[in-house]
Amino acid sequence: MQPFEKADRAHNPQLRDPCPLTKLGSPVSLSEEEERTLAQFVARYPEKRAAILPLLWMVQEKYGWVPEEAFPVAAERCGTSLSHVYGVVSFYTMFNRSPIGRYHLRLCTNLSCQLRGAEHLLQCLRERLQIDLTETTPDRLFTLDEVECLAACEMAPALQVNDALVGPLDEKGLDALLQKLRDGVG
């Protein structure tokens, strides 16, 4: 569960621009509205640095990933060190540390999903998208990742597309899903 409501842009992948494939190259700043939202989060916690997760979520919602240029802003606003910010971003897999495509595909390859064909689906994804794990398609539409568990064993094999879970999937269902996403229907 995210600590704040997402903007409509974040909920609708068709409205979300794909991330650029380079570093921002400029400092990250917070708008007045984002500063007010952050102040509300800081007020909720006994220690200011506890607001680091909501702040990083705001940055990711804004840029689609958490660029290194955001680390000093996060450290200053949350009263913590750069190393703490780096530790948080690198520890939690929910934070994208590099630009991703419009559709972030995360295939579960834990036991339940493995037993129901996740390895085959992973191979299908690699072939159809012509990318490997952690890569993004040249059109910046898809990024492919493997995850240990999506907590959706009843949907095995399960795939997370941005924030939505899809499953159980087979090869035919995967092809239909990819076509829907390419057509902007998904």
* CATH number for position 72: 1.10.10
- The range of the structural domain enclosing residue 73 comes to 23-91
| pTM over 0.85, yes/no | no
Last residue of a domain, one of 63, 91, 119: 91
For the chain, how many structural domains are there in total?
A: 2
CATH code, 145: 3.40.30.10
pLDDT at 47: 92
pLDDT at 25: 61
Residue 118 forms part of a structural domain: yes
60-106 residue pLDDT tens: 988 888 998 899 989 999 999 999 999 999 888 788 888 889 999 99
Residue 38 or 124, more confident: 124
User: Do 29 and 63 belong together in one domain?
Assistant: yes
Q: Is the pLDDT of residue 133 over 60?
A: yes
For residues 96 and 99, what is the distance between their CA atoms, to the nearest angstrom? 7
pLDDT at 62: 86
